[in-house]
Amino acid sequence: MSKKPDLHFSDGWIPAARQVHSPNSNRRPEGALVELIVIHNISLPPGDYGGGFIEALFTNQLDPHAHPYFQTLIGLQVSAHFLVRRTGELLQFVSTEDRAWHAGQSRWCGRENCNDFSLGIELEGTDDDLYTDAQYDQLKGLIEALWCCYPSLSPEAIVGHCDIAPGRKTDPGPAFDWQRLAKDLGATLARPGSK
């Protein structure tokens, strides 16, 4: 069994993560604290895993002719701080000190524009495909590292994209096991259905 990488931070980056810098980011507003973790899912094309299409999307290099679905993504400029592959591989696209463009129009606890104060974690998957043990293991370690780095984060501030953009987004979907995440973290999550 291989040793898990040490998930410590250096200037907003995790050295153990594969770094793929995204231009789809900018500085957080002055004085903004990191107070929210948003869990997403992504696969490109939908339901296909592996390959470099997610990285291409987050770096504005996705060939719109590589798959018919990609025509719907032309001009889209998005990113997340992290991506956890099905294998558990961790990629980082944006410094945690900066604002990644992952949440879109969003609201949490009466506050708009969640990108300003959140971290986005993408899980390679779909709403309906079960996530892998390797992904849950990596997600646990990542969240614990984020808690150590940002005391402003708490278990009550871990949500799905569906929770901050209801009616517009459904991820991480019913396939995501919130109870397992809560148990793995040894914490009570405020997210509905996670207790």
Active site residues: 122
Q: How is residue 186 written in tokens?
A: 């040894």
Beta strands in 28-177 (DSSP E): 36-42, 82-84, 90-92, 98-100, 107-108, 111-112, 118-124, 158-160
Token look-up 């987050």 returns: 58
Map residue 162 onto helix, strand or coil. helix
Cα 99 → chain centroid: 12
How far apart, in whole angstroms, are the C-alpha atoms of residue 145 and residue 7? 6
Q: Distance between CA 23 and CA 93 in Å, rounded?
A: 9
